[in-house]
Amino acid sequence: MNENQKKVLFWVGIIAGISLIIFLLVSAQHTYNTAATTNTVSFSGEGKVTAKPDISVMNFTIETRAADSKTAQDSNTKKSNAVVDYLKQQGVEDKDVKTSSYFIQPEYGAWCYYPKCNPERPGKIIGYIVNQGFEVKIRDLTKVSIITDGVVTAGANRIDGITFTIEDTDALKAKAREEAIKKAKQKAVELEQQVGIDLGKIVNFSESGNFPVQMAYDKANLGIGGGGGAGPSLPTGENDIVVDVTITYQIK
């Protein structure tokens, strides 16, 4: 074996040795992590904060019909402007009024009478229907009922729904989360005392929440009259902000 071959074998041995050391270190770390993950225990906690709604969201529709689409659109625009003007008079700001939908469709007249109908015969267009949907945020909850009745008087054909909710729930979520974490940690302390285990560091944390809209009214249960009255009765109720957490500890 010449000198060059000896050098090659030497360096091959060095590289093989380094590779073996790295492999053993990685294997040891994997074994440690697996053991650390296996020797864990989890605790859950729930936090709930109850608060009154501070904003209402109303959805309504303005529908107009005419023999031609332009007339139907012009009529719809006139009614929409009247409703928006009314909302401004009630203190609703421009930023809180938006169009949620707008469509035009033909209206077909009857072309047959059952049972003498030909399904292949198209109906005749007798006019056009324009529908414009609105979404309005009402920040003064004392005006929700009167505005509900007022938009119908001003030109809205249908109230599609009213909800009462909390606009900014971040602070309430934080408070509910704090309560949930406190309960989970208290369970951990109790288990240490009762079972005699020694808990180490937190190795995992998860959170989920439930933030429902407490009160919702649709067109079926608003009970709106012919306009001009005091408006329907709309209790706002309360909203529950719920946060669930799970904390996982390593067992020493």
| Residue 45 structure tokens | 């906690």
pLDDT digits (tens, 9 = 90+) for 178-205: 999 999 999 999 998 998 889 999 999 9
Predicted confidence at residue 225, as pLDDT, reads 47
Specify the pLDDT at position 96. 97
Torsions phi, psi for 106 (to 5 deg):
-75, 155
Are 60 and 160 spatial neighbours (Cβ–Cβ below 8 Å)? yes
Task: For residues 45-65, give the mean pLDDT.
Answer: 95
Higher pLDDT, 167 or 28: 167
What's the pLDDT score for residue 174? Answer: 94
Beta strands in the chain, from DSSP E residues, in sequence order: 40-51, 55-66, 97-109, 124-138, 158-165, 199-210, 215-218, 239-251
Looking at every residue in the chain, the average pLDDT score rounds to 84
Overall average pLDDT of the 42-68 stretch: 95
- Tell whether the model's pLDDT for residue 214 goes beyond 90: no
Can you give the pLDDT at residue 27?
64
Q: Look at residue 114 in the predicted model and tell me its pLDDT.
A: 58
Q: Model's pTM, two decimal places? A: 0.67
Tell which wins on pLDDT, 120 or 126: 126
The sign of the CA dihedral 86, 87, 88, 90 is positive
> In angstroms, rounded to a whole number, what is the distance separating the alpha carbons of residues 222 and 234?
8
Q: How confident is the model at residue 115 (pLDDT cuts 50, 70, 90)?
A: low
pLDDT at residue number 37: 53
Q: Report pLDDT for 110.
A: 64
In this predicted structure, which of 44-48, 50-54, 81-85, 118-122 has the lowest mean pLDDT?
118-122
pLDDT at 221: 47
Query: Residue 95 — pLDDT band, cuts 50, 70, 90?
Result: very high
Residues 153-162 pLDDT 10s: 999 999 999 9
Are 43 and 249 within 8 A, CB to CB? yes
**Which pLDDT does position 249 carry in this prediction?**
95
**pLDDT tops 90 at residue 60:** yes
Q: Residue 36 corresponds to which tokens in the numbers above?
A: 């650390």
Q: What was the pLDDT predicted at 201? A: 93
Task: Quote the longest CA-to-CA distance of the chain.
Answer: 111
Q: What's residue 195's pLDDT?
A: 86
Does 220 have pLDDT greater than 50?
no
Residues 163, 166, 172, 173, CA torsion sign: positive
Alpha carbon of residue 166 to chain centroid:
12
Mean pLDDT of 100-109: 91
